[in-house]
Structure 1
Amino acid sequence: MHQPATPSPALRQPDFTLPRGTCDTHCHILGPVNRFPYADSRPYTPAESDKTVLSALHERLGVDRTVIVQATVHGTDNRVVLDAIADRPHARRGVALIDADISDANLQVLHDGGIRAVRFGFIRHLWTPPEPATFHRLMERIALFGWHVLLHVDATGLDELQPMLDALPVPFVIDHMGRIDAAGGLEQPGFARLLEWAKRDHCWIKVSAIDRLSATGTPFADVAPFVRALIDASPDRLLWGTDFPHPNPRHPVADDADVVDVLPLCGDAGAMQKLLVDNPARLYGFIG
């Protein structure tokens, strides 16, 4: 049986005050399944966490803008994301999962509903990577809408994907800092390559899912040096996201205020303004 949507268990406001216009660029909505059923082929069955839960969390944290990423448990039925965007169309955008044979008309429906990117995975034990020719055709089609592609990929696998990435007609965003492991230190090969990729004009990186990257858990401070290094390498193409409600966490997140309170360890006010406000506004088309 699916668990019902419940309020966030978090109890406090963050110590760090987020700047006005802060955008959470990576969060999910799960259900309610009586309106938005999970896909039969879903990789796991999470508790419901509907749009009211997400809204309450963002109000408490001080988040003004949202990019909702379609959860794999909902498959390519993106109605749950479109429904949430429709509540606040000027402050919300979405990232869709799509089938290779999606029609032009349905792409237009997604665009009109606030979708600005599609997501694909290249981690074989979690995703079935798309066939290269099919993927490239889809990228050419989404380029017509001014979208980008969000890639769930290990940083250690970026070089293998270089021919495909170099041929992309759209910008690409690397999810979750390339899934590096903070325990490996700043000199780990995967992070060194991520820093090199970060300097490329068409590459963006998401500072998200820090609960998965941290080796120590709350307060996740061991991730901060990696974020600082990325800010030094590419301050204008970094994004931030909570990954709420934290599917498959490495360390339980009892309070997303802890995720916010890592931020002042990562950079000064100018760096935070770019990471939290200016960069996502530019990529996702937020105005004002």
Structure 2
Amino acid sequence: MNYQGVLKKMKTEYLDEIQYFLDMESDFLHVNQLLNSEISISFIKYQCLQCDSEKPIYRQGFCKSCFFELPNAGDWIMKPELSKAHLGIEDRDLAYEKSVQLQPHIVYLANSSNVKVGVTRKQQIPTRWIDQGAHEAIEIVEVPNRYLAGITEVALKNHVSDKTNWRKMLQNDCKDEDLVVWRNQLKQFIPMEAMDYFIENNSETHLNFPVMKYPEKPKSLAIEKEKLFTGKLVGIKGQYLIFEDQTVFNIRGNEGLVVEIAL
């Protein structure tokens, strides 16, 4: 059976074991059901997630022109501290920026390859943690806008990482950490503007990923270059498919590519 569609990050469901779904336009693939099966992935063409053009994908699933024009690809997406909607200052589209920036945001700690600090909209919890492949996470601060979350993250990343090592995450090379202890240790570094929003009494969230076998030496699949790949699926973690031969395929990192998946 063959499925064709433009890649977008997998949808997830937070259950005892994380459930993954891939939108292939005509149908949803429940990816967990493909575990222990051989599948083929072939590259067909590019398709910008905004304008549908066949131009090469630049970043985040967009062609170059869309990436530099769209309000949902502004610098404040990757650098929340640059948010200005709370001041009424437009970057690319103030109405859009207000709709995203002026809503509750969470500053959190997650443990995937190491303990890291991150920012996301409140409504994206726990999806954000799933996408990062974190096996445990905890909220530190809940603030009313993206700017406050951004300056808090900037302050905290002087004392804790803000990056995930994707190789270690996929190797499951990480130790359990007491994130409550980490949260309490980092409290002193939270900016005064955000201190009133510190979350005092909460516990860790634990996540369990559907992985039968972790790769010892993960090698990333560049489907644009390879054109065709076939392998046995043995795991799903973060937004990665893990294959028996230690090949890993980052679905989110390949958004905007039209592929055919053969089962």
TM range (shorter): under 0.3
Query: Which has the larger strand fraction?
Result: 2
TM-score, reference length from structure 2: 0.28
TM-score, reference length from structure 1: 0.26
Structure with the bigger RCO (C-alpha within 8 Å, sep 6+) is 2
Query: Which has the larger helix fraction?
Result: 1
